Amino acid sequence: MAGRPRVVATDLDGTLLRSDGSLSVRTRDAIAAAEDAGIPTLFVTARPPRWLDELGDAVSGHGVAICGNGAFVYDVAAREVVTSRGHDAALMAEVVADLRTALPGILFAVERADGMGRESDYAYAAEHHDDHTVGSFEEISATPVGKLLARVPGATSEAFLHDVAAVVGDRVELGYSGAIGLAEMTARGVTKASGLAAWCDEHGIDASQVWACGDMPNDLPMLAWAGRGFAVANAHPDVLAAATDVLASNDDDGVAQLLESLV
Residues 92-133 pLDDT 10s: 999 999 999 999 999 999 999 999 999 988 877 654 556 688
Q: How many CB atoms lie within 10 A of CB 82?
A: 12
Find the length of the chain: 263
Query: What integer pLDDT is reported at residue 211 of this predicted model?
Result: 98
Residue-wise pLDDT tens for the chain (263 aa)?
A: 458 999 999 999 999 999 999 999 999 999 999 999 999 999 999 999 989 988 888 888 789 999 999 999 999 988 999 999 999 999 999 999 999 999 999 999 999 999 999 998 887 765 455 668 899 999 999 999 999 999 998 777 778 899 999 999 999 999 888 777 889 999 999 999 999 999 999 999 999 999 999 999 999 999 999 999 999 999 999 999 999 999 999 999 999 999 999 99
Query: What integer pLDDT is reported at residue 228 of this predicted model?
Result: 97
Q: How many CB atoms lie within 10 A of CB 154?
A: 8
In the chain, where the domains are located: 7-84+191-261, 89-187
Query: What integer pLDDT is reported at residue 57 of this predicted model?
Result: 86
In this structure, CATH architecture of domain 89-187? 2-Layer Sandwich (3.30)
Cβ pair 110, 141 in contact under 8 A: yes
Q: How many CB atoms lie within 10 A of CB 99?
A: 20
Fold for domain 7-84+191-261? Rossmann fold (3.40.50)
- Burial of 74: CB neighbours in 10 Å, binned 0-12, 13-18, 19+: buried
Q: How many CA atoms lie within 13 A of 88 on its CB side?
A: 9
Query: What integer pLDDT is reported at residue 128 of this predicted model?
Result: 55
User: Among 57, 53, 47, which Cα is nearest to 79's?
Assistant: 53
